[in-house]
Amino acid sequence: MLYPALFVFSVVGLLINSGSLPASSEPRVKDAQLRGQYCMQQNIIPRQSSDLFSHDDITFVTQASLNHAPLLRRHARLWDGPISATFFIDSILKVPKTISLLQLLHGCDEAIARTTSIHIFYPPSSNGSCFWSPHIVADNCDRQSIEDADFVFSTLAKPSQTQPYPINIARNFARKGAITKYLLTADIELLPNPGFVDKVRPLLASELRNKTVLVVPSFEIAAGLSELPANKSALYALARKGKAFAFHHFRSGMCHQMPNMEKWWISGDGGQSRVFARVPWIRPCWEPIFVSQADVPYYDERFKGYGKNKIQQVYELCRDNYRFAILDNVFVVHEKISILSKEEWAKIRPAISRNNDIFQRFRRELDSKYPNARVRQYCDAIQTVLAL
């Protein structure tokens, strides 16, 4: 009998060495580039055709650690547009096998292959070199191979708390792989409601001007539901049963709570999206998910792990005098209600403390970039240093 750890590596070995994913000498994957402390490989697995989508579409820009990679299947069926996904690999030793697994995921799913470009980054070897991989083609897409690959993905651990996940590097790298004028940047666990792109597309040209972003309400729902809520009525029914809350409701309170939610719930359902409300940045920890033009500020890559990694971008939007237009009839959901234990909070507190210090430096650095004193005073009056 194989022990679990041995079984994991046996499955990977089978996928790579048994002929399921034969390697050919060419074309070869483009060389990784060492940028800072990571090897970066963009479009290591490109979408099948670059002309399936228009420049005026919305790219879903996402990132994740490898254990969440199978969620790409859900996105490729829900998102009617291009997807740019970055995965972090915490060791160069895992790169060859990981590329094989990602090729299987991509090559054996028509929806993923049609919509999604995959990028990876990882620490270099001890001598500073990066991995150079042959192109691998998935030619055996039987159900067992796919299930085996999903099992291996599920066993891949998240980055350790001693080496916090470089989330903003991942976000920016995925964004650089986007091909469209408009972006929705969100973690891979956040799934859009069906028809999202078609509902929002008519608003893009008229609303995303004059420094505006379109805020997408975000929620978390109870795990194990038979299907995602297809519309606001279905989501509201879950909320009334205590099975849906604002995203991270039990972790960070009001940080994803929309203003005037009571009115949002009853303001209509179905059909095209519309702007429900227009607001400035409204509270210290508010870090909304939003659709934007591709010229919004990038994330600051000094932020790693938990704490301030998204708020810093929203704070910069405030300093740059952006407005936030909250959308109706669209939303994203996380399929688990997240509650952190005391032990989990203790593990992330070093990252929180470190990122709070970085944030104070970041705020001061923006003074020369955005010298308007009145706007600075407003944003600084809203922002406070939180223990979150």
DSSP symbols for 264-315: HHTS--SSS--EEEEE---STT---EEEEETTSPPPPTT--SSSSTTHHHHH
Q: What is the pLDDT of residue 145?
A: 78
Give the pLDDT band of residue 249 (cuts 50, 70, 90).
Answer: low
What's the CA gap between 115 and 53, in Å, rounded?
A: 9
Instruction: State pLDDT tens for residues 188-205.
Output: 999 999 999 999 999 999
Q: What is the pLDDT of residue 385?
A: 40
3-state DSSP assignment of residue 163: coil
Paired with 325 in beta bridges are 214, 278
Which residues are CB-neighbours of 280 under 8 A, at least 6 positions away?
Answer: 318, 323, 324, 378
Give the pLDDT band of residue 151 (cuts 50, 70, 90).
Answer: confident
Higher pLDDT among residues 151 and 29, named by residue: 151
Instruction: State pLDDT tens for residues 80-111.
Output: 999 999 999 988 888 888 888 898 899 889 99
Statement: residue 160 has pLDDT above 70: no
Mean pLDDT of 276-296: 88
| Average predicted confidence (pLDDT) for the chain | 82
What are the backbone angles phi and psi of residue 198, rounded to the nearest 5°?
A: -65, -35
What's the CA gap between 245 and 219, in Å, rounded?
A: 6
- Per the CB < 8 A criterion, the answer to whether 126 and 92 are in contact is no
Q: Are strands 33-35 and 275-279 parallel, antiparallel or unpaired?
A: unpaired
Statement: residue 115 has pLDDT above 90: yes
Three-point CA angle 71, 76, 79, nearest 5° = 115
- Cα–Cα nearest to 189, from 169, 172, 204, 167: 167
Q: What is the pLDDT of residue 174?
A: 96
Q: What is the pLDDT of residue 79?
A: 94
What's the CA gap between 309 and 288, in Å, rounded?
A: 12
| Size of the chain, expressed as the number of residues it contains | 388
Q: What is the pLDDT of residue 31?
A: 64
Instruction: State pLDDT tens for residues 271-285.
Output: 889 999 898 887 777
Statement: residue 251 has pLDDT above 80: no
| Ranges of each domain in the chain | 33-168, 191-382
Statement: residue 154 has pLDDT above 70: yes
Statement: residue 148 has pLDDT above 70: yes
Give, in order, the Cα–Cα distances in Å from 319 to each of 209, 216, 280: 17, 21, 11
What's the CA gap between 378 and 319, in Å, rounded?
A: 9
- Per the CB < 8 A criterion, the answer to whether 138 and 103 are in contact is yes
Give the pLDDT band of residue 332 (cuts 50, 70, 90).
Answer: very high
Using CB atoms within 10 A of its CB, is residue 214 exposed (0-12), middle (13-18) or buried (19+)? buried
Cβ neighbours around 374 below 10 Å, total: 8
Statement: residue 1 has pLDDT above 70: no
pTM of the model: 0.86
- Per the CB < 8 A criterion, the answer to whether 221 and 243 are in contact is yes
